[in-house]
């Protein structure tokens, strides 16, 4: 039975509260978002939108009444306290809507949030690789994209199928070492024959916005410089990406990079070299993105988070927070 249906049954029968009392969270539920708004008609990566403006506001209103929303600085004490229902609200990448919608809503509700930024996009605003892949597919003028070195078959761009091609190309990109990923993008640009896309200058927050958010009690963490998949990079490349990100945050925000989120965040998206870089920099906690919740046994350099998606309805959302042992499973199916 799918989780959405189970959550609905638990709500209708009022069993969710009973189960929550019998199965206390005893940990920290990390909720992760990327973008807020409606991306259904965007030419960019539509999978990045996590909730509508109204939906996010409703989630915050419920969290304020039914959980203890904490900052990363509270993690140490929260892990020792099994009585409260602790929740972290986090955002990855650094999109402008995080400031316009998410920060505004968090401040209105008086709740803390954590924003993990890829500093290269703040310093030099441009399309990131995932949005460029989506844009190339949607703007392509060919009947099929052929990348024989990377995919066994051409990808037909028929009506209604372009989104699935975007997903397939994104998955392939994430599996590649850094140098091969660059070649993949170059060949995709040639193969797609797409009309020019917007450069992406208006996609990102500015350092002034981030300083305002920091002053208002939000936490600014690191997410590398260029959002590279760390496991595909050498140890030296990883160090450059992570240490430069830390230096830019300290220079612009005036605080150490104590918290970090791995780009992509799957189990195979980072490795021991990634963690060693973080240890050398004195990072306190690093966050993954493959599901689960952080109980007392969680590795401080692999703190799990749950993806919040537009299809997660209110009953399901509440079940994630109240019953993480059931609803925060790794990559749980919809």
Q: Give the model confidence (pLDDT) of 202-214 as tens digits.
A: 999 999 999 999 9
Beta strands in the chain (DSSP E): 28-33, 35-36, 49-51, 68-70, 86-93, 114-117, 144-145, 155-156, 219-222, 259-261, 285-287, 306-307
- DSSP per-residue codes, 216-251: TT-EEEE--SS---GGGS-HHHHHHHHHHHHHHHHH
Please indicate whether residue 236 or residue 77 has the higher confidence score (pLDDT): 236
- In the predicted structure, residue 333 carries a pLDDT above the cut 80: no
Q: CA-to-CA distance for 6 and 29, rounded, in angstroms?
A: 19
86-93 and 68-70 beta bridge pairing: parallel
pLDDT tens digits for 108-157?
999 999 999 999 999 999 999 999 999 999 999 999 999 999 999 999 99
pLDDT tens digits for 57-89?
999 999 999 999 999 999 999 988 767 779 999
Q: CA-to-CA distance for 206 and 276, rounded, in angstroms?
A: 29
Interval 219-239 mean pLDDT: 98
- In the predicted structure, residue 33 carries a pLDDT above the cut 90: yes
CA distances in angstroms from 223 to 31, 82, 120, 219, listed in the order given: 16, 29, 10, 13
Cross-strand pairs, 220: 115
pLDDT tens digits for 155-201?
999 988 999 999 999 999 999 999 999 999 999 999 999 988 778 99
Of the candidate CATH numbers 3.50.50.60, 3.20.20.370, 3.40.50.1100, 3.30.70.260, the domain formed by 3-12+27-123+206-327 belongs to: 3.20.20.370
- In the predicted structure, residue 289 carries a pLDDT above the cut 60: yes
């Amino acid at each position: 039975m799918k989780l959405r249906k189970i959550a609905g049954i638990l709500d209708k029968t009022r069993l969710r509260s009973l189960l929550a009392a019998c199965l206390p969270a005893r940990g920290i539920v990390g909720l992760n978002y990327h973008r807020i708004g409606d991306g259904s008609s965007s030419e960019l990566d539509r999978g990045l939108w996590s909730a509508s403006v109204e939906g996010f506001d409703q989630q915050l209103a419920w969290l304020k009444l039914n959980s203890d929303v904490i900052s990363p600085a509270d993690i140490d004490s929260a892990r020792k306290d099994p009585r409260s229902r602790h929740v972290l609200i986090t955002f990855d990448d650094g999109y402008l809507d995080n400031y316009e919608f998410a920060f505004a809503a968090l401040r209105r509700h008086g709740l803390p949030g954590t924003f993990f930024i890829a500093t290269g996009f703040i310093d030099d605003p441009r399309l990131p690789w995932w949005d460029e892949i989506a844009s190339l597919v949607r703007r392509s003028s060919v009947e099929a994209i052929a990348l024989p070195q990377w995919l066994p078959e051409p990808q037909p761009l028929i009506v209604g199928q372009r989104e699935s091609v975007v997903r397939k190309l994104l998955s392939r990109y994430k599996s590649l070492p850094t140098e091969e990923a660059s070649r993949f993008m170059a060949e995709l640009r040639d193969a797609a024959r797409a009309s020019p896309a917007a450069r992406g200058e208006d996609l990102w927050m500015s350092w002034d916005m981030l300083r305002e958010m920091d002053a208002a009690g939000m936490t600014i963490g690191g997410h590398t410089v260029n959002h590279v998949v760390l496991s595909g990079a050498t140890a030296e490349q990883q160090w450059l990406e992570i240490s430069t990100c830390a230096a830019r945050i300290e220079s612009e925000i005036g605080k150490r990079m104590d918290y970090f989120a791995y780009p992509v965040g799957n189990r195979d998206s980072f490795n021991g070299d990634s963690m060693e870089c973080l240890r050398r920099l004195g990072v306190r906690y690093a966050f993954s993105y493959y599901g689960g919740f952080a109980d007392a046994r969680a590795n401080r350099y692999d703190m799990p988070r749950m993806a919040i998606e537009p299809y997660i309805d209110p009953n399901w959302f509440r079940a994630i927070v109240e019953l993480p042992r059931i609803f925060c499973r790794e990559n749980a199916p919809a």
